[in-house]
Structure 1
Amino acid sequence: MYKNNTSIVRIHPRLFKCLLIMKFISFFIFGLFIQTQANVFAQKINISVSKAELTDVLNIVQKQTDLDFLFNSSELKNVGKIDLHMSNADLKQVLDQCLSPRGLVYAVQNKTVLIRKAPELGNALSIKDTQQLLLEGKVLDSDMNPVVGASVKVVNSNAATATREDGSFSLSVIQREGQVIITAMGYEDKTISYVTGQQIEVVLNPCER
């Protein structure tokens, strides 16, 4: 006689309820993320420019939204002048119109729009790629004490931040290698090379009186 060996696993009612709640929360968070992205791209833009630089167009867009733009200035050079006349247009329409014909792609992370040249394979810049490009480090004085409020700026870019109370900083960048310039009141400016994924330690020398 054939016997069915299939076993039935019974889930405790409380555990089943917890699993349902967790599943509901997961769907809620995912839906909230999608809605947030939709709200960002749905922001309305009014713009009318002729033979304008791309950076000037981005400045106009930035003033009409709650977004910041992060890009490498060298990648936005020689992309041609822009003639753009749009009224009450979605942010996505404006960005697509400005960037796609010029071989540029973008991604939105929190309230920052990251812009770069389109990679050779594919034409999309993923959020995963942008999350990997994080520069971290610490700024100290000659006595190895933290320098608070020092400015850390990527050379040839508008990406910048300031050091925390312990002298540490973190900064999203769009190039894996480059240079940053560190400035602080009472100290000499210092430029140093970086590679993302490797923390850097910068020691500033006091200004000579």
Structure 2
Amino acid sequence: MSSNQEKQRCGWVSDEPLYLDYHDEEWGVPITDDRELFEMLILEGAQAGLSWITVLRKRENYRCAFAGFDPHKIAGFTEDDVERLMLDAGLVRNRLKINSVISNAQAWLEIMKAGEGAFRDLVWSVVGGKTRVNAWTDLSQVPASTEESEKLSKLLKKNGFRFVGPTICYAFMQACGMINDHTVDCFCYKKHAPRI
């Protein structure tokens, strides 16, 4: 535990206030809102090959650039929008990732034709609709992917999503509280107990 951390936290958390707030208030808290789940999936895809803090620092820029993560608006983005976004230093300027946000919005809309909660029901189905609680004592025990994240990856790809490999899906599942991967000594392990 570092000098400015008065609480015991997971070992991956740095002293940076943005990171501390994310860990303490968001990471592992169950998300069931369709649009919020979409946002987190996009951010996890943007993170591929980068550190999570890089994406956290760009998160507000993503919200502005991608219409508040409104899939209805994003799905209508054109090649001109892609070119505009490629010039935006506040984003991860990777053409494949930017294009995937648009195609993922279109895929999300297709799923949502089934009604409110359709995307939530799809992604949460891999854990049976409730948070899977692990009991890791050390970061080295936390896997990069699991059978469930592989299942989610296949499910999302089948529905037209991109940048949703098993490792990205596992990070998404952790972030959205589908998995509680706070280490048992972290004060958030019990704080973010399942609410579903």
Q: What TM-score, normalized by structure 2, do the two folds share?
A: 0.23
Larger radius of gyration: 1
Q: Normalized per residue, which structure has more strand?
A: 1
Answer 1 or 2: higher relative contact order, Cα 8 Å, separation at least 6: 2
